[in-house]
Amino acid sequence: MEDRIGFGAWINDVRLEAMPFAYWPPDLLDEVAERSLIETMRLQAASGYNMFDVFGLFAAWGWPVDIVSAVDRERDARVRRIQKAARELGIKLIYGLGVYSWGFDKIIQHDPAVKGPNIHAMCASREESWGWQKKIIDFILKYDFDGYHLEASDLGRCTCEQCLKTWPVLATYYNHITAKCADYIRKQAPGKYISAITISWADWNTGFTAEDKQNLITLSNQVDSILDQGHHGLFVKEPDRKAFVDQLHCKFGTSGGFWVYPPFRCHRERWFLPYTRKTGEHIQRLYADGGRSVLYYQGPINNPGVEVNVAFGGKIMSDVSRDVTDVLSEIIEELYQPKTQEAHRLLVQTFQLGEEAYLSNMNYDADGIHLKGQSTYPGPGELHIGFGVSLAGATSAVPVYLYEPNLNDQGRAAYAKGLEACLGHVSKIEHQVGAVERVQRLKNSIYHALDDVLNVAYARETMPKP
């Protein structure tokens, strides 16, 4: 792969300490956040990544109206140290930029001229909106990031009468504002990497229409890469992918086919979800179809499953021809320093079985309650695992990944059995490895995941669904 991108996604998604009382997405940039970002980049550099794409260095939901007060001296110094660390590690730092949405809430409240029906998205028909967008871009450009991730659609579009008339088709609206920002950044900062992210540009089931694809081919003249991440399935379906990629003037990619969205509220050793086979095989198919970019999700690397996933992503992207088990085996050797062949073998098996025990028992569309019952999806691309302190409502306070529609009774029983086997493996060899502290974290994470699935399985009879 040419673009081997680690995706934050937000600055605290890689945080090495949980934030039990924070709201999503926490934009705190303190000592822990800085250290966590730099530690993550160290593992990225050692594993073959060449970019780190992250949201929230300056703002999350809302830039202040004066823009500049988003960054005080302390934050400025932290951002510059993170940039310096990235340069030293050979990692290009990509700034996650909201396009007409993500970061504009306070501006929309302040300036009625840019306000449409969507409280998170500026009206694309108003020249004033473009003025605000340019102000923010101008501010960010002063920091001279290596590239910009343009995201127009995650929080929806403006649905005022004028916008609906000008851009009746969803994708044309997002395409228009993305292209406008890309052109502006190109002129101001030539040579920087620009990616267009197509989250929510189309219906998750049907994907891009022929017209959407044609418009993306036009957009591909203005950006370096188009990323069809695949949160609930891919907009460019695999059988059509090669023909589409061949027509693009830029690179194309996905987010590796599957990822766990990092849960920032819960204890770092609470889950064990490795997925090296699933993403490895996806990345190999993507490459065969001409895909050359991957936006691979990161997470807190002191979670043993996350650490192996992150290392694996970098290595398989660096050489997609490698056998996925060989890559995993190499990572186990490097991270755990097994002293015996048995320890090596059982550790590799633990990560393979941990993946299979969850993913092969998933029943994603079992009851159609996905996203508040609105629809079922062809996914999963993104898995939310839930839990934390019950601040954001009951559904995120419980381990949702262990409930329907992800696992049913049968799936939970099979997953528990798999985790028991993983725990047995690790218990057998825990004193045969060099990385003493790491293997204890591995054991803890399997133990905690097993506790959770058993608790859910037993409680299921008497407790209502989340």
Q: Is the CB of residue 44 less than 8 Å from the CB of residue 82?
A: no
Count CB atoms within 10 A of the CB of residue 157: 24
Tell me: does residue 177 bind Zn ion (CB under 5 A): no
| Distance of closest approach, residue 125 Cβ to Zn ion, in angstroms | 5
| Distance of closest approach, residue 106 Cβ to Zn ion, in angstroms | 18
Closest CA to 278 of 364, 357, 355: 355
Tell me: does residue 108 bind Zn ion (CB under 5 A): no
- Our CB check for Zn ion shows the closer of 160 and 421 to be 160
Cis ω for the linkage preceding 25 (within 30 of 0): yes
- Our CB check for Zn ion shows the closer of 102 and 259 to be 102
| Distance of closest approach, residue 163 Cβ to Zn ion, in angstroms | 3
From candidates 125, 209, 318, 395, binder to Zn ion by CB under 5 A? 125
Who contacts 7 (Cβ-Cβ below 8 Å, separation ≥6)?
Answer: 53, 54, 255, 295, 296, 297, 298
Number of residues that bind Zn ion (CB under 5 A): 6
Residue owning tokens 């839930």: 386
| Distance of closest approach, residue 174 Cβ to Zn ion, in angstroms | 13
Query: Which residues between 260 and 319 bind Zn ion (CB under 5 A)?
Result: none
Tell me: does residue 408 bind Zn ion (CB under 5 A): no
- Calpha distance 383→445 (Å, rounded): 18
- Our CB check for Zn ion shows the closer of 176 and 322 to be 176
- Calpha distance 286→460 (Å, rounded): 39
Per-state percent for the chain, helix, strand, coil, to nearest 5: 50, 15, 40
From candidates 141, 160, 189, 413, binder to Zn ion by CB under 5 A? 160
- Our CB check for Zn ion shows the closer of 26 and 116 to be 116
- Our CB check for Zn ion shows the closer of 167 and 377 to be 167
- Our CB check for Zn ion shows the closer of 177 and 357 to be 177
Pick the piece of the chain touching Zn ion (CB under 5 A) from 77-85, 141-149, 159-167, 375-383: 159-167
Residue owning tokens 């015996």: 340
Identity of the amino acid at 355: E
- Our CB check for Zn ion shows the closer of 163 and 199 to be 163
Map residues 339-368 to x or -, x wherever contact with Zn ion holds by CB under 5 A: ------------------------------
From candidates 59, 158, 219, 266, binder to Zn ion by CB under 5 A? 158
Count CB atoms within 10 A of the CB of residue 111: 17
Q: Is the CB of residue 327 less than 8 Å from the CB of residue 312?
A: yes
**CA-to-CA dists, residue 371 to 364, 365, 377, 383, angstroms:** 12, 11, 9, 12
**CA-to-CA dists, residue 464 to 107, 269, 310, 404, 410, angstroms:** 41, 26, 35, 12, 18
| Distance of closest approach, residue 160 Cβ to Zn ion, in angstroms | 3
| Distance of closest approach, residue 155 Cβ to Zn ion, in angstroms | 14
From candidates 8, 26, 62, 116, binder to Zn ion by CB under 5 A? 116
From candidates 163, 294, 327, 331, binder to Zn ion by CB under 5 A? 163
Tell me: does residue 172 bind Zn ion (CB under 5 A): no
- Calpha distance 406→385 (Å, rounded): 10
| Distance of closest approach, residue 223 Cβ to Zn ion, in angstroms | 24
Tell me: does residue 14 bind Zn ion (CB under 5 A): no
- Calpha distance 150→369 (Å, rounded): 31
Closest CA to 464 of 375, 363, 368, 394: 394
Tell me: does residue 320 bind Zn ion (CB under 5 A): no
| Distance of closest approach, residue 242 Cβ to Zn ion, in angstroms | 37
| Distance of closest approach, residue 177 Cβ to Zn ion, in angstroms | 11
Q: Name the strand (E) or helix (H) holding 445.
A: helix 436-459
Residues in touch with Zn ion (CB under 5 A) = 116, 123, 125, 158, 160, 163
